[in-house]
Amino acid sequence: MSTPGSDVAEAASVGLFCSLVSPAIVEMIGWAGFDFVILDAEHSLVGPEELAHQLRAADAVGLRALVRIPSATSSLAGPVLDAGAAGVVIPRVRSASDVEAAVRAARYHPWGRRGLDAGRATRNGQAELRQAVRQAARDVAVVAMIEDREGVDAIADIVGVPGLDAVLEGAADLSQSMGTPWETTSPVVQSALEQVETACRAANVPFWAVPRQPPDAHRWRERGVRTFVTGDARNLAARALEEHCERARERIRA
């Protein structure tokens, strides 16, 4: 049995994090052909008005935009969904209670307690409001990030929470939780990620992978994973600028 918003979680294939506070970058991600973007309100200093502009930019290019909010109990969940976000990504999920709190904030009755609003998500009230509630049940995604040893240990309970649509791995913070910061490819971290994916598969909850090495995507695809977050626009831009500068200097010296 599918959970609310599972169509969104299933349909996505290749996406990016975006920690840059810029609507123009969001447009570029859409024009580049990505299926979705996760706007980062956890590790960036983005404000509500800037997020609203980024969500409009995503709409303009037909890009599905989710927002990573600061925590499961963040008051930002409702406002970003009211502004048109396709879903929320919850960082540092350690227990089923974290997911339950996020579901309460992100979903309407009967799964949650999200406040009713006739804002941008309903075309400022021009949509039929009761239908908008039913539409949100189908389309809004709640995605839990597993970034701690506690989350790995509790994964069977986490994926059993009604209203959860997908689980996104967070190998970086997970490596720190296990005492090996940034050693994301270490056997202990990879084993934990496989434990999480196995629990997701058993519960029929999509697992979203973050491939960091060329073989990673193939390995996850063999396990049935179909949704990939392939980096952060900030880091991709920095590397592209560095490579461009190096090539420019080589041409000048030639």
Q: Tell whether 1 is covered by a domain.
A: no
Any domain includes 175: yes
List of residues 6+ apart from 36 with CB closer than 8 A: 12, 15, 63, 64, 65, 66, 86
Q: What is the pLDDT of residue 251?
A: 95
Average confidence (pLDDT) over 128-142: 88
**pLDDT for 176-234, tens place per residue?**
999 999 999 999 999 999 999 999 999 999 999 999 888 899 999 999 999 999 999 99
Of residues 68 and 2, the one with the higher pLDDT is: 68
The pLDDT score that the predictor gives to residue 4 is 46
Cβ–Cβ contacts within 10 Å for residue 166, how many? 26
Assess if residue 15 is contained within a domain: yes
CA dihedral 98, 100, 106, 107 (to 10 degrees): 170
Number of domains in the chain: 1
- CA torsion sign, 189 to 103 to 134 to 33? negative
pLDDT of residue 213: 85
Residue 230 lies in a domain: yes
Which amino acid appears at position 69 of this protein?
I
**Quick check: 5 pLDDT over 60?**
no
Asked whether residue 35 is domain-assigned, the answer is yes
CATH code: domain of residue 153: 3.20.20.60
pLDDT in tens, 104-125: 999 999 999 999 988 788 777 7
194 pairs with which residues across the strands? none
Give me the percent of the chain exceeding a pLDDT of 70: 95
pLDDT digits (tens, 9 = 90+) for 231-250: 999 999 999 999 999 999 99
pLDDT of residue 12: 44
Average pLDDT of the residues of the chain:
92
Residue 149 three-state SS: helix
- The model's pTM: 0.91
Whether pLDDT at 151 is above 70: yes
Parent domain of 47: 6-253
CA distances to 54, 180, 193 from 105, rounded to whole Å, are 22, 33, 27
- 7-61 residue pLDDT tens: 444 444 899 999 999 999 999 999 999 999 999 999 999 999 999 999 999 999 9
Asked, for residue 100, whether it belongs to a domain, the answer is yes
CB atoms within 10 A of CB 156: 14
In a domain, 200, yes or no: yes
Q: Is 106 a domain residue?
A: yes
Burial of 233 (0-12, 13-18, 19+ CB in 10 A): buried
Closest CA to 141 of 12, 233, 240, 5: 5
- pLDDT number for residue 183: 95
Contacts by residues 170-173 (CB-CB < 8 Å, ≥ 24 positions apart): 170/91, 170/92, 170/145, 170/146, 170/210, 171/210, 171/212, 172/147, 173/92, 173/147, 173/148
For residue 38, CA distances in Å to 24, 41, 134, 201 come to: 15, 9, 24, 23
Cβ-in-10-Å burial (0-12, 13-18, 19+) of 228 comes to buried
Active-site residue (options: 43, 109, 218, 244): 43
- 53 tagged catalytic: no
